[in-house]
Amino acid sequence: MNGKRFAIAALATIACVALSGPAFAEKISMKANLTSAAEVPPNTSPGKGTADVTFDTASKMLTWKTTYSGLTGPATMAHFHGPAEPGKNAPVVIPFKDAASGAEGSATLTDTQAADLMAGKLYINVHTEANKGGEIRGQVTK
């Protein structure tokens, strides 16, 4: 009889542990407001935009949709940079496949990239022919 109770208790414990794991996963909504004033150095472009960003903490999947207007010309490229605080520059860490306004994308982050994202150290930069170093930029924040 004690063997049966032990087996039932063990199965119940395993079930609780197995079912509680996903409770720690969540989808976090983030945003970036893209402006020329946020560029380093700033420029005088009238362009502005936003990026809606979602991060799934379980799969480490980052998804985004960007919208912008008023650029000096078509966007030639766009990407996430990091790690960097606002006002600092950093290398590209996630390129966009499509730089056009309204473009959507996704990427699976490394543990380091995920930590940088959660610490507010990733930013989006949109480039044009007139502003090859970046026309509008915005830090990704919760």
**50: CB partners within 8 A, 6+ apart:** 31, 32, 33, 34, 66, 67, 68, 138
* pLDDT at residue 25, rounded to an integer: 80
Among candidate residues 135, 36, 126, 137, the one with its CA nearest the CA of residue 86: 137
Closest CA to 126 of 115, 116, 137: 137
| Weakly modelled stretches of the chain, pLDDT under 70 | 1-23
The pLDDT value recorded for residue 102 is 87
Which pLDDT belongs to residue 5? 61
- Output the pLDDT for position 3: 60
